[in-house]
Amino acid sequence: MKKIGRAIPLVLVALALIVMPALAITGNWVNDDVHPFVGMIAFYDESGEFIWRCTGSLISPTKMLTAGHCADVGEGAASARVWFQENAGGNYDPALGYDPITGYADSCASGTLGTLCATSDEIYNYGFANFAGFPNTKDVGLIILDQPISLSEYGELPTAGMLDGLDKARGLKDTIFTISGYGLTYSTNVKDALPNISYRIRLMATSTLVNLGSKYTDGYNLQTQGNGSGRGGTCSGDSGGPVFLGGTDSNLIVAVTSFGLNSMCRGTDFGYRIDRQEVLDWINSH
C-alpha cells in the first residue's frame, strides 16, 4: 500500500524495477469488522501538519506495528494519531477539513480518546532508509500510544522462521494470507488519466503465496497474489497494515505491507517479513 501524499518511487536500475510504497486494498475485498486492533494512522511533522497516512496493528494495548517507511522520522514523522473505527474517515469533508464523525485527520472525536482513538509522540524505525539495501529494506516501524487501547484481542506475532520453506513445500504454495488496511478502495489509475477512489474504510482481502526467494524477496519479503478475477490486493494507504497467515479470522501477523511493483494496484503485493529473529527481537525490545 502506498502512502497518501508520499508515494515515493524508487528506481532500482539493477532490477529494472519501480518499487512503490504500498497503498490500499483493491479488488475482491470485504469490509473488515473482525480485526478491531487494525487502525488508520495519520502522521504529522514537528509543526503538527499532516504529512501522510498508513495502516497499523496493535500487538498490545500501547504497541502498534506498522511499516518503516510510515514511521520514517528522518522524513519528518514526529507524531501520530490512530483511529480504530472500521469507517475511520469515510465522512471526510474537504470543506471542513476533517471527518465530523471521527475527527480524522487532525483530532479524536469527543469521547473516543483512549477507546477508538489514540495519540503518539513515540515513533521507532527499524532502519528503513528509502529502500536502501533492497530487498532487505528493514521496512518495519512501531508507534507507542499515549493512551492504552483495551481490546479483547490483539495482533499476534509469529515464531522465528515460520514462513521458511513454505514456497517449496508440496501443497503449501496455495497457503492463504489475508491483508487488511485503509486506503484506496478502487483504483482507476490508467496512465494517471482517471482518479483513485479512497474511502478510508478498513477492508480486507485474501491472497496466495507467490514466493519467498526471488530477487524481490530473498528471504526478507513475502510476495502474494490476489485471488479471483478481482484480484484483491494492496494500494495507497495500506502501507504498514498486517499480512495475516490464514483466512480472514486469523490474527497471526507474519509481515507488514511494504511495496508494489507499479502504481496500478494490480494485486501483486510485497510485505516485509517479521518472522525473522532479529526483527522479532527489535519489536520485543520496545
Residues 134 and 222 in one domain: no
Residues 43 and 150 in one domain: yes
Q: What is the pLDDT, as a whole number, of residue 172?
A: 65
Does any domain span residue 256?
A: yes
Distance from C-alpha of 141 to C-alpha of 120, rounded to nearest angstrom: 13
Record the pTM.
Answer: 0.86
The C-alpha cell at 12 is: 532500482
Give the residue ranges of DSSP H helices in the chain: 277-284
CB hemisphere CA count around 11 (13 angstroms): 1
Q: What is the pLDDT, as a whole number, of residue 266?
A: 54
Residues written for the chain: 286
- How many domains in the chain? 2
Residues 148 and 205 in one domain: no
Q: What is the pLDDT, as a whole number, of residue 11?
A: 32
- CA torsion angle for 274, 58, 269, 211 (degrees, to 10)? 30
Please choose, from the candidates 214, 212, 136, the residue with its C-alpha nearest in 3D space to the C-alpha of residue 175.
Answer: 212
Does any domain span residue 165?
A: no
Does any domain span residue 28?
A: no
Tell me if residue 278 falls in helix, strand or coil.
helix
Q: What is the pLDDT, as a whole number, of residue 230?
A: 43
Chunked in runs of 10, what are the mean pLDDT values of the chain (286 residues)? Answer: 32 35 56 96 95 95 97 92 95 91 94 98 96 94 99 98 82 81 57 53 88 92 72 61 96 93 65 98 98
Does any domain span residue 67?
A: yes
CATH number at residue 124: 2.40.10.10
Distance from C-alpha of 133 to C-alpha of 120, rounded to nearest angstrom: 29
Residues 89 and 147 in one domain: yes
Q: What is the pLDDT, as a whole number, of residue 233?
A: 52
Q: Name every residue whose Cβ is closer than 8 Å to that of residue 139 and which is 6 or more positions away in sequence.
A: 67, 68, 69, 126, 128, 131, 256, 258, 259, 272
Does any domain span residue 168?
A: no
Domain that holds residue 183: 176-276
Please choose, from the candidates 129, 233, 124, 98, the residue with its C-alpha nearest in 3D space to the C-alpha of residue 177.
Answer: 233
